[in-house]
Structure 1
Amino acid sequence: MLENIYNRLEEIFPEIVELRRDFHMYPELSHEEEKTPEKIAEYLKGLGIDVQTGVGGRGVIGILKGGKPGRTIALRADFDGLPIEEENDIDYKSRVPGVMHACGHDVHTASLLSVAKVLSEVREEVPGTVVFVHQFAEEATPGGAQSMIEDGCLDGVDVIYGAHVMSTEVFGTCTVREGYFSSAQDDFYIKIYGKGGHGSEPHNTVDPLVTGSQLVVNLQQIVSRRVNPQSAAAVTVGSFHSGKATNVIPDTAVIKGTVRTYDQEAMEIIEQSMRQIVKSTCEAAGAEVDFDYVKDCPSIWNDPEETEKVRKNAVTVFGKDAVHTEEPMHGSEDFAFYQQVVPGVYFTVGGGNPEIDAVYPHHHPKFKVDERAMLHIGKMFAQLVFSDN
């Protein structure tokens, strides 16, 4: 059966490429997706699959009930674009100014639709039930995963699998890792209220810029001195704005940044330390402060038992030497929210290929991947559906 499915995926590959390129030409930003979910729903309905739209807001779910007993397996793809002006010189370049699929979500969506098409053709042989989860707003905070879960996208689901194409990994390879596979992401927003004045009279002011500068330095001591060296973590200030003129001490300073951790203990230590340091640094300078710490996304944690299943199936699809176990990703992914409800595994598929200039990192205006990676994603998903039950 799987050999026939593989062959069918190869047969429809030109159709899936065309579908992916259509998504690529008309990307939509997070929480603004309208045409994309409509296209997805229309395609799934054409396959005779039960479809739910508006899930959690803009999500789409397809449900395929197989003809044989088995578990209920969810397969997830995301479909939002990024606020980036594409610089690739290709026929299917983004037609939307300032918006681009620069992270492969168009690839994920088309890959999952290819699996839906092939499985719908052999539904009597499909074990259990397959839930095709098409998620909106993966790139946003908050992302679409939480609201889709709250709206019931995982009701009755036993396990969920997700795949991400990677331009930084060689085409024809797959990375599968047990346990932590991505960092958690928290964000922080600090506004310091000082007392402005003339630049020649700093003694009559409470300088929020100097206070903020000291605070930035103090925050860097958290990871180096308070977090266990065996726990990877990062506290990054990405934005610092204060003042406009050379001879004016401003009233306020605004600092924004992100925190990346893997384990819960490190996350709690960093948050508590930040609250203490922000408060004490500003108090010592005589400044007031507003501090907002936002928990954005937890770490992806791949279930050990399910990971072993994915690894065995990856060896079947890619070959033993092409299946790797790399260090966890430093980026965050809201697939992690699904894993807090049901066991799940997130894995990556290589899409990098220097021969077609697919060498740029994700979120780059020249991001590109080898489209044949869609076949690998499709085969992996199909393999998991049939071998998992």
Structure 2
Amino acid sequence: MSLKDKLFEKLEQNEERMVEIRRHLHENPELSFKEEKTAQFIEEFYKDKDVSLTANAGNGYGIIVEIEGGAGDGPVIGIRADFDALPITEEADVEFKSKNDGVMHACGHDGHTAYMLILGEALIDLKDELKGTIKIIHQHAEEIPPGGAKSIVESGILDDLDEVYGIHLFPTLDLGDITVCPGEAMTGRSNFDLKIQGSGGHGAMPHTTHDALVAGGYFVTSAQTIVSRRMNPGDSVVVSITAFEAPGGYNVIQDSVTLRGTVRYLSMDNREPVYEEMAKLVKGLETAYDVECTLDYVYDYPVLYNTEEKIDEIEEVLTASQGSYFEKVYRDKPQAASEDFAYYLEKIPGAFIFVGAKPDGVDTAYPNHHPKFEVNEKSLLISAKAMAEIVLNKLG
């Protein structure tokens, strides 16, 4: 029996455990930087297994598990799964619904962790047949900046990696589909808060006020001209205002308002120009509406850039298995979302790919970060086998 067949057999035999782990994690979600019990669960899983484990990696509860192959020298490969949840109240109709009010695994990180634990166990069992070393990166805090990846990279614990790989589940992709994207695959991200301080007063006498709400309303529309009039039409740039806080009564013009938003870009060349244009608009608000503005603008996750030759290799490896445990692998357009896996790829060659997880019997699935988000649990075994093939291509 080949090494691949042995590994796949172990994964298939433990698919039910994989699903059980996923459901346990789904019932017990924890927010970014607060994943204490999740981390304990992961550490307990590896207890008494023949591996080296480093806890509290980076700026939180990150865990690095090192598996040394016993079949000779080879590369050091990193494979990553994140495990934090989101501040969302779950509305999905499942038996294993979140037990933590206002917290939900609405991005599939529970599935990422479940498949990676079972894959890690199988790789440990077969490590004597592997050439090289595997570092499993169980990463905390992907969802909230500054994220966990950047600090793990900066800690130096991954300095010996030759390559790094990750998988993300997407229920908006058909079950059985695996997509790859060379080069710029996910957008970079910046977030901002804007406080507009005016001078409030009576709603019947606006001439005696400096209306912060009107200034804020103008900013909501004018911010879109950054994309439509300042950015190259061939570039992918998005500016979204996601919150406008101006509570008050019918007859009161508010003293101040606060806006919040996000910026996405598929080229790092657009990171600073968007900020510079926004700063100009804010300065104009102060002059035009006689208000004071405070813009807190944070450069966040970089553009996720997949090493093109690694995507070529993955595509070649997975194409050989196309039609067996999954339907097809194909190249797709970049994703508009952002991912702190980008920090690994800034320093280490590798790739981040996507596995379809559309639930059975639906035409249109709820997307990631939706309160009714669900994944097809058959995608867990697909993910485990796909990552196993990537690892064996390097170490087998």
Provide TM-score, normalisation by structure 2. 0.94
The match for 1:37 is: 39
In the alignment, does 2:347 pair up with 1:341? yes
Superposed displacement of residue 221, structure 1: 0.7
In the alignment, does 2:137 pair up with 1:165? no
SS of equivalent residue, structure 1 residue 138: coil
Superposed displacement of residue 243, structure 1: 4.8
SS of equivalent residue, structure 2 residue 186: coil
Superposed displacement of residue 197, structure 1: 2.0
Paired letter, 1:58: Y
Could you give the per-residue CA deviations for residues 242-274 of structure 1, whole angstroms, max 9, x where no partner exists? 251222222212111111111022222211100
SS of equivalent residue, structure 1 residue 185: strand
In the alignment, does 2:366 pair up with 1:360? yes
Change (3 A) 1:357 1:108: farther
In the alignment, does 2:70 pair up with 1:70? no
Task: State the 4+ residue runs in structure 1 displaced beyond 4 angstroms.
Answer: none
In the alignment, does 2:3 pair up with 1:8? no
After TM superposition, the structure 1 = structure 2 runs for residues 1-389 of structure 1, keeping only pairs within 5 Å, are: 1-56=3-58, 57-67=60-70, 68-319=72-323, 322-355=328-361, 359-389=365-395
SS of equivalent residue, structure 2 residue 361: helix
Paired letter, 2:84: D
Superposed displacement of residue 48, structure 1: 1.6
Question: 8 Å contact 2:79–2:137 — kept in the other structure?
Answer: yes
Paired letter, 1:368: E
Q: For the residues of structure 1 that align with 2:251 and 2:97, how far apart are their CA atoms?
A: 47
Q: For the residues of structure 2 that align with 1:92 and 1:118, how far apart are their CA atoms?
A: 26
Q: For the residues of structure 2 that align with 1:358 and 1:250, how far apart are their CA atoms?
A: 42
Question: 8 Å contact 1:127–1:385 — kept in the other structure?
Answer: no
Superposed displacement of residue 148, structure 1: 1.8
Superposed displacement of residue 204, structure 1: 2.1
Could you give the per-residue CA deviations for residues 191-224 of structure 1, whole angstroms, max 9, x where no partner exists? 1111222223222221111111122222111100
Q: For the residues of structure 1 that align with 2:375 and 2:125, how far apart are their CA atoms?
A: 28
Question: 8 Å contact 1:133–1:153 — kept in the other structure?
Answer: no
Superposed displacement of residue 357, structure 1: 8.9
Question: 8 Å contact 1:313–1:380 — kept in the other structure?
Answer: no
Change (3 A) 1:97 1:233: same
SS of equivalent residue, structure 2 residue 169: strand
Change (3 A) 1:250 1:382: same
Unaligned residue ranges in structure 2 (runs of 5+)? none
Q: For the residues of structure 1 that align with 2:67 and 2:192, how far apart are their CA atoms?
A: 42
SS of equivalent residue, structure 1 residue 352: coil
Question: 8 Å contact 1:73–1:158 — kept in the other structure?
Answer: yes
SS of equivalent residue, structure 1 residue 368: coil
Could you give the per-residue CA deviations for residues 153-201 of structure 1, whole angstroms, max 9, x where no partner exists? 3121111100011111111110001011111111111111112222232
Paired letter, 2:387: F
Q: For the residues of structure 1 that align with 2:25 and 2:206, how far apart are their CA atoms?
A: 56
Change (3 A) 1:329 1:33: same
Q: For the residues of structure 1 that align with 2:110 and 2:362, how far apart are their CA atoms?
A: 18
Paired letter, 2:223: L
Aligned residues: 389
Superposed displacement of residue 11, structure 1: 1.0
Superposed displacement of residue 330, structure 1: 0.8
Superposed displacement of residue 6, structure 1: 1.1
The farther-off stretch of 247-256 and 32-41 is 247-256
Q: For the residues of structure 1 that align with 2:260 and 2:364, how far apart are their CA atoms?
A: 32
Superposed displacement of residue 71, structure 1: 0.7
The farther-off stretch of 332-341 and 352-361 is 352-361
Question: 8 Å contact 1:351–1:358 — kept in the other structure?
Answer: no
Q: For the residues of structure 2 that align with 1:216 and 1:265, how far apart are their CA atoms?
A: 24
Question: 8 Å contact 2:176–2:327 — kept in the other structure?
Answer: no
Q: For the residues of structure 2 that align with 1:285 and 1:93, how far apart are their CA atoms?
A: 49
Unaligned residue ranges in structure 1 (runs of 5+)? none
SS of equivalent residue, structure 1 residue 9: helix
Paired letter, 1:51: L
Question: 8 Å contact 1:317–1:380 — kept in the other structure?
Answer: no
SS of equivalent residue, structure 2 residue 100: coil
Q: For the residues of structure 1 that align with 2:246 and 2:25, how far apart are their CA atoms?
A: 41
Change (3 A) 1:358 1:114: farther
Paired letter, 2:322: F
Paired letter, 2:212: P
Question: 8 Å contact 2:188–2:268 — kept in the other structure?
Answer: no
Change (3 A) 1:321 1:246: same
Change (3 A) 1:358 1:249: closer
SS of equivalent residue, structure 1 residue 91: coil
Paired letter, 2:372: K
Question: 8 Å contact 2:12–2:381 — kept in the other structure?
Answer: yes
Question: 8 Å contact 1:127–1:386 — kept in the other structure?
Answer: no
SS of equivalent residue, structure 1 residue 236: strand
SS of equivalent residue, structure 1 residue 317: coil
Q: For the residues of structure 1 that align with 2:8 and 2:346, how far apart are their CA atoms?
A: 32
Provide TM-score, normalisation by structure 1. 0.95
Could you give the per-residue CA deviations for residues 35-83 of structure 1, whole angstroms, max 9, x where no partner exists? 1111111212332211111111211110001112211000000011122
Change (3 A) 1:208 1:10: same
Question: 8 Å contact 2:7–2:122 — kept in the other structure?
Answer: yes
SS of equivalent residue, structure 1 residue 260: strand
Question: 8 Å contact 1:177–1:326 — kept in the other structure?
Answer: yes
